[in-house]
C-alpha cells in the first residue's frame, strides 16, 4: 500500500483530460456505437503481422484491450488470445501462434489501457510475460464508483446503448485452433465498444468529481495483480469450509483433494471439472462418519464413475489417515485479542458513518471500507492507512466524531 500511495502522489491524473473534452450527449455516444455494430477485425498469427501491429501501436497512446484464456478447459491456465482496438480498428492477436512477442509487450506497457474487469487479465499478463502495465481505465471499477448495479460489460452496453452482445462463446476453449467465426466475433465484440463506453462513464465520473477516486482504484488494481495467481502449496487442500470439518474429516479431504489434483493434471482438466469443492466437503464428512460409500452412491453418475479413476482408493486412504500427519497450519503471527467493548462501540459508529456516506454517494458501502477494514480502524485509527487516500478522506470525520461533507 505504501508503494501505491507514493506512486499516486508522484503522478499526474491521466484521466483529467476527459473532463475537458467537448460535450457529447449519451445519444451521440450511442449513435457512435450503432455505427460500429458490424464487426470487422484483423487476425494476426504471423511474425510479420506482429511487427506491423507493434509499429502501428507506437503512434497511439490509448488501446482498448481484453484477453481470452483456457482456464475453464485445462489444468494449467494459458493466455490464448489478445483483443486490441485503436484507430477504429480491432486486432485479434493469436498468442499461441509461433511468434515472438517481446517487442509487443514492450510497446503495450507504455500505453493507457482501456479494459473491463481487468483483474484476471492483468494477473494473466504477469504470469505469462512478467508484464506490469502502467496506466489503466477499467469500466467495471468506474461503474462501481457511479453506483451502477449491473456492471458486467454486456449489461452496461445493453443499458446504455441498447446493444445486445452474444454470450454463447463465453465459456469456449480458446486454446483450440482454428477458432470458429463465432468465437472470433465474440472476441472482437469484447473491445469493439470500450472507447465509447469509457467516454460515457468518464463524463459521469467527472461530473461527480470522482476522477481521482478512479485513478487510485485503477492503480491499486495494477499493483494487486502483480502477485499473479496463488501458487499451490502444501496447504492448498484447505478449501472453503474445510476449517469447519473435524480432524478425521480433514484427513478425508486431504486425500480427496490430492487425488483430484493428480487426476486433473493427468487428464489436463480443471480440478472443478473432476469433482467440485462442495462434493469434496460432503465426501470428506462422510468418510469421518463412516458413510462414504452410501453418500457416494447418492451422487451424480459422473462422480460415481470416478471410482474407476482412483476415487475409491482415495476414500480408503482418507479413512485410514492419522490426523497427526496432516501439514500444520502456517502461523498467522500473534493472535489478536477480540475487540473490547469500547472498540466494538467505535466499530458500530464507524460502520454507521460509512453506511450513511455510501448512501449519500449512491455507492456500495464496501467500496469505502470492508468489514475487516472497519474492525481494524476501530482497533487502531492508524489502520486508516490501509485504505486509499480518497477512502481515508471520506472516513476521517468518523474518527473525529464529526459529520462533514461526502464529496
**How much is the pLDDT for 39?**
81
- What is the mean pLDDT of each successive set of 10 residues along the chain, which is 407 residues long? 48 52 59 63 98 97 98 96 97 98 97 98 95 96 98 96 87 96 95 96 97 97 93 92 96 98 97 97 97 95 95 97 92 78 95 97 97 94 93 91 48
**How much is the pLDDT for 14?**
52
**How much is the pLDDT for 5?**
46
pTM of the predicted model, to two decimals?
A: 0.88
Instruction: Give the Cα-Cα-Cα angle 60, 65, 67 (nearest 5 degrees).
Output: 145
**How much is the pLDDT for 9?**
46
Q: Rounded to an integer, what distance in angstroms lies between the CA atom of residue 41 and that of residue 319? A: 56
Residues found in the chain: 407
- 141: cell is 471499477
- 280: cell is 469434496
**How much is the pLDDT for 36?**
54
**How much is the pLDDT for 168?**
81
Q: Rounded to an integer, what distance in angstroms lies between the CA atom of residue 201 and that of residue 338? A: 42
Instruction: Give the Cα-Cα-Cα angle 375, 378, 380 (nearest 5 degrees).
Output: 110
Q: Rounded to an integer, what distance in angstroms lies between the CA atom of residue 147 and that of residue 150? A: 9
Helix H, strand E, coil C: the string for the chain is: CHHHHHHHHCCCCCCHHHHHCCCCCHHHHHHHHHHCCCCCCEEECCHHHHHHHHHHHCCCCEEEEEEEECCCCCCCCCEEEEEEEECCEEEEEECCCCCCCHHHHHHHCCCEEEECCCHHHHHHHHHHHCCCCCEEEEHHHHHHHCCCCCCCHHHHHHHHHCCCCCCCCCCCCCCCCCCCHHHHHHHHHHHHCHHHHHHHHHHHHHHCCCHHHHHHHHHHHHHHHCCCCCCCCCCCCCCCCHHHCCHHHHHHHHHHHHHHHHHHHHHCCCHHHCCCHHHHHHHHHHHHHCCHHHHHHCCCHHHHHHHHHCHHHHHHHHHHCCHHHCCCCCCCCCCCCCCCHHHHHHHHHHHHHHHHHHHHHCCCHHHCCCHHHHHHHHHCHHHHHHCCHHHHHHHHHHHHCCCCCCC
Amino acid at each position: 500500500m505504501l508503494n501505491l500511495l507514493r506512486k499516486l502522489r508522484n503522478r499526474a491524473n491521466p484521466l483529467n483530460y476527459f473532463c475537458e473534452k467537448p460535450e457529447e450527449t449519451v445519444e451521440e455516444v450511442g449513435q457512435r456505437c450503432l455505427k460500429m455494430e458490424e464487426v470487422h477485425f484483423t487476425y494476426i498469427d504471423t511474425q510479420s503481422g506482429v511487427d506491423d501491429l507493434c509499429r502501428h501501436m507506437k503512434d497511439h497512446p490509448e488501446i482498448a484491450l481484453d484477453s481470452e484464456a483456457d482456464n475453464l478447459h485445462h489444468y494449467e491456465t494459458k493466455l490464448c488470445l489478445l483483443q486490441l482496438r485503436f484507430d477504429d480498428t480491432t486486432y485479434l492477436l493469436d498468442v499461441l501462434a509461433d511468434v515472438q512477442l517481446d517487442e509487443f509487450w514492450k510497446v503495450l506497457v507504455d500505453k493507457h489501457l482501456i479494459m473491463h474487469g481487468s483483474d484476471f487479465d492483468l494477473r494473466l499478463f504477469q504470469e505469462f510475460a512478467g508484464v506490469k502495465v502502467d496506466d489503466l481505465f477499467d469500466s467495471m471499477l468506474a461503474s462501481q464508483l457511479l453506483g451502477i448495479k449491473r456492471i458486467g460489460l454486456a449489461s452496461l452496453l445493453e443499458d446504455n446503448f441498447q446493444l445486445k452482445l452474444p454470450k454463447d462463446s463465453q465459456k469456449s476453449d480458446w486454446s483450440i485452433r482454428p477458432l470458429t467465426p463465432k468465437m472470433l466475433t465474440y472476441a472482437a465484440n469484447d473491445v469493439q465498444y470500450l472507447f465509447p463506453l469509457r467516454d460515457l462513464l468518464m463524463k459521469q465520473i467527472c461530473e461527480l468529481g470522482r476522477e481521482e477516486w478512479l485513478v487510485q482504484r485503477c492503480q491499486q488494481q495494477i499493483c494487486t495483480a502483480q502477485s499473479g495467481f496463488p501458487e499451490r502449496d502444501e496447504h492448498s487442500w484447505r478449501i472453503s469450509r474445510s476449517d469447519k470439518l473435524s480432524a478425521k474429516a480433514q484427513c478425508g479431504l486431504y486425500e480427496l483433494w490430492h487425488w483430484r489434483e493428480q487426476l486433473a493434471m493427468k487428464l489436463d482438466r480443471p480440478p472443478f471439472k473432476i469433482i467440485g469443492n462442495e462434493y469434496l466437503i460432503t465426501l470428506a464428512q462422510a468418510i469421518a462418519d463412516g458413510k462414504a460409500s452410501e453418500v457416494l452412491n447418492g451422487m451424480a453418475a459422473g462422480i460415481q464413475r470416478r471410482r474407476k479413476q482412483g476415487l475409491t482408493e482415495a476414500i480408503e486412504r482418507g479413512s485410514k489417515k492419522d490426523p497427526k500427519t496432516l501439514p500444520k497450519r502456517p502461523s498467522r503471527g500473534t493472535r489478536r485479542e477480540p475487540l473490547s467493548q469500547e472498540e466494538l462501540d467505535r466499530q458500530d459508529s464507524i460502520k454507521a458513518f460509512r453506511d450513511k456516506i455510501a448512501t449519500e454517494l449512491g455507492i456500495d458501502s464496501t467500496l469505502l471500507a470492508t468489514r475487516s477494514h472497519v474492525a481494524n480502524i476501530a482497533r487502531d485509527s492508524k489502520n486508516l492507512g490501509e485504505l486509499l487516500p480518497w477512502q481515508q478522506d471520506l472516513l476521517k470525520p468518523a474518527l473525529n466524531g464529526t459529520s462533514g461533507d461526502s464529496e
